[in-house]
């Protein structure tokens, strides 16, 4: 039976309907596999895992038929960003240097979803090695925004956002190094979560900047994002940076919360008028509901983006050294010895933005500049963390627009990397400080383009963050 009229509501309802026999997991999977293969006008999917997904669905149907208990995500059809490993499936980080590479193991986050009954439907386009804010840096072509295909979906997890916004899956996974989940979620009208650093294992995530990267979900509701987060979160012996702190599964509900916002944000000349209007309305609605809204200031606001790009490019320079044409992945046919293998393979395999960041990172780590840039950047990062925690001692959340403006046209900023770097102005603080942050839809511009509002919360207190996000939804 085909499910032409199927309308996804939420993960819990899908599971309930599946167990009630309204449809089978195989029918659901075929429905989404067909949509992902035939209805993807946005270049969101790089590969649809039709065969393995249907096999997983059949196994789930057999489990249900036998009366065995099934997981919390039974029937959930999930797309994964193309920098997450899934055994026996391709993974390229949207780069030519990993073209045709097949993973030999599965990321812990993905395995935990599978263990709870989720079905992985395919891998999703992204900026190469997660470096970008528009998904124009993929070596497999840019992704289009389903809201308006002339616009970018945001980046680097643009394929994950576009696939969900176009109803090509139920939930998708992205990685967030400086806003790469939250910015595309805002541009596509979705919920996007960046968990606390160390809350979700990075084992099986192709590294960009190891002390910043975090895996998180895109969802159409806070409840779905929370459910997927709970399944993925927790200690993993394969990732020494994952935290052993307990995962709180129940929301930390209070009658009234305190929301802090930066006065510099509202006075920013780059803030879109409609963004400012909607954000001020959101603050007023919180006050009217009895919550406390306080104005504060952040002394390091202008240092956030420079600090972020000094440190992340340094880590990228180190992490991407492994992609050399020798160990695995692309090897240039022009190679005749080891130096030419390295040079030609990396020249042919890496795109312009990746090369730019490797060179920047190598520079800030080089002799004579290490103390001036990298070492100083680490000190500034500690100041940012301390200042963030000081504010969150007085408030439950930091609230801000997720982005200064709605999605922009494809190609509009392609030749201005600095303008693209400034796309992270409201999102990088969470990654520098390691705190969790979530974006939810805030409204639209007059021409229907989504805008998001972001909450940044206390470390390892996602339970409170989800409750706050529900208030804003």
- List beta partners, residue 453: 401, 440
Mean model confidence pLDDT for the chain? 96
Closest CA to 399 of 286, 307, 309, 302: 286
3-class secondary-structure state, position 442 = strand
Mean pLDDT for 449-463 is 98
Dist CA 355 CA 18 (whole Å) = 47
Domain residue spans in the chain?
11-232
pLDDT band at 24 (very low <50, low <70, confident <90, very high): very high
- Is 398:261 a contact under the CB 8 Å cutoff? yes
pLDDT band at 2 (very low <50, low <70, confident <90, very high): low
Annotated catalytic residue within 95, 103, 156, 243:
156
pLDDT band at 414 (very low <50, low <70, confident <90, very high): confident
**Residue 407 confidence (pLDDT) above 90:** yes
pLDDT digits (tens, 9 = 90+) for 369-378: 999 999 999 9
180 part of the active site: yes
pLDDT digits (tens, 9 = 90+) for 184-225: 999 999 999 999 999 999 999 999 999 999 999 999 999 999
CATH fold of 11-232, please?
A: Amidase signature (AS) enzymes (3.90.1300)
63 part of the active site: no
Higher per-residue confidence, 3 vs 158: 158
Report the percent of the chain where pLDDT is more than 70. Answer: 100
Annotated catalytic residue within 81, 194, 220, 282:
81
Three-state SS sequence of 360-384: HHHHHHCCCCHHHHHHHHHHHHHHH
- List beta partners, residue 401: 453
Task: List alpha helices for 66-133, DSSP H.
Answer: 108-115
Dist CA 402 CA 282 (whole Å) = 13
Higher per-residue confidence, 99 vs 216: 216
Please report the pLDDT score of residue 71 as a whole number: 98
Note if the pTM is more than 0.95: yes
**Residue 464 confidence (pLDDT) above 60:** yes
Mean pLDDT for 343-357 is 96
* Cα dihedral across residues 201, 207, 209, 214: positive or negative: negative
Dist CA 437 CA 16 (whole Å) = 30
**Residue 1 confidence (pLDDT) above 70:** no
Dist CA 436 CA 351 (whole Å) = 31
pLDDT digits (tens, 9 = 90+) for 274-331: 999 999 999 999 999 999 999 999 999 999 999 999 999 999 999 999 999 998 889 9
Please spell the DSSP secondary structure of 186-199, one letter per residue. HHTT-EEEEPPTTS
Annotated catalytic residue within 133, 180, 221, 332:
180
Torsion, CA 291, CA 401, CA 189, CA 112, rounded to 10? -80
pLDDT digits (tens, 9 = 90+) for 255-281: 999 999 999 998 888 899 999 999 999
Please report the pLDDT score of residue 252 as a whole number: 80
């Amino acid at each position: 039976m085909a499910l032409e009229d199927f309308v996804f509501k939420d993960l819990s309802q899908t599971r309930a309907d599946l167990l009630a026999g309204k449809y089978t997991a195989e029918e659901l999977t075929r429905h989404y596999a067909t949509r992902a293969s035939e209805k993807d006008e946005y270049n969101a999917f790089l590969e649809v895992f039709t065969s393995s997904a249907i096999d997983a669905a059949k196994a789930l149907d057999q489990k249900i038929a036998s009366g065995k208990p099934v997981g919390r995500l039974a029937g959930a059809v999930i797309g994964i960003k193309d920098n997450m490993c899934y055994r026996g499936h391709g993974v390229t980080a949207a780069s030519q240097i990993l073209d045709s590479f097949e993973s030999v193991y599965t990321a812990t986050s993905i395995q935990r979803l599978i263990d709870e009954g989720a079905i992985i439907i395919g891998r999703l386009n992204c900026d190469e090695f997660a470096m970008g804010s528009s998904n124009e840096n993929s070596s497999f072509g840019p992704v289009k925004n389903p809201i308006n295909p002339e616009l970018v979906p945001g980046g680097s997890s643009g394929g994950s956002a576009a696939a969900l916004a176009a109803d090509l899956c139920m939930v998708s996974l992205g990685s967030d190094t400086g806003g790469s989940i939250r910015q595309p979620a805002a541009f596509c009208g979705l919920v996007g979560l960046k968990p606390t650093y160390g809350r979700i294992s990075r084992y099986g995530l192709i590294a960009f900047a190891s002390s910043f990267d975090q895996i998180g979900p895109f969802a159409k509701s806070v409840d779905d994002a929370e459910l997927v987060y709970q399944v993925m979160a927790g200690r993993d012996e394969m990732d020494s940076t994952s935290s052993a702190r307990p995962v709180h599964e129940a929301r930390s509900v209070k009658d009234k919360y305190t929301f802090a916002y930066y006065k510099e944000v509202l006075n920013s000349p780059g803030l879109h008028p409609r963004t400012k209007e909607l954000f001020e309305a959101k603050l007023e609605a919180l006050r009217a509901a009895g919550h406390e809204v306080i104005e504060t200031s952040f002394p390091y606001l202008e240092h956030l983006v420079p600090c972020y790009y000094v440190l992340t490019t340094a880590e990228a320079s180190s992490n991407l050294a492994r992609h050399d044409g020798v160990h695995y992945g692309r090897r240039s046919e022009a190679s005749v010895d080891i130096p030419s293998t390295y040079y030609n393979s990396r020249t042919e395999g890496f795109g312009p933005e990746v090369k730019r960041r490797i060179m920047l990172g190598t520079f800030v780590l080089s002799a004579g500049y290490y103390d001036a840039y990298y070492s100083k950047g680490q000190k500034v990062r500690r100041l940012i963390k301390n200042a963030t925690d000081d504010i969150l001692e007085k408030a439950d959340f930091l609230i801000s627009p997720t982005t200064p403006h709605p999605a922009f046209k494809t190609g509009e900023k392609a030749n201005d990397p600095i303008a693209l770097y400034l796309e992270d102005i409201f999102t990088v603080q969470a990654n520098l400080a390691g705190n969790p942050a979530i974006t939810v839809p805030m409204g639209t511009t007059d021409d229907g383009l989504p805008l998001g509002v972001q909450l940044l919360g206390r470390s390892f207190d996602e339970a409170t963050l989800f409750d706050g996000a529900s208030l804003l939804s």
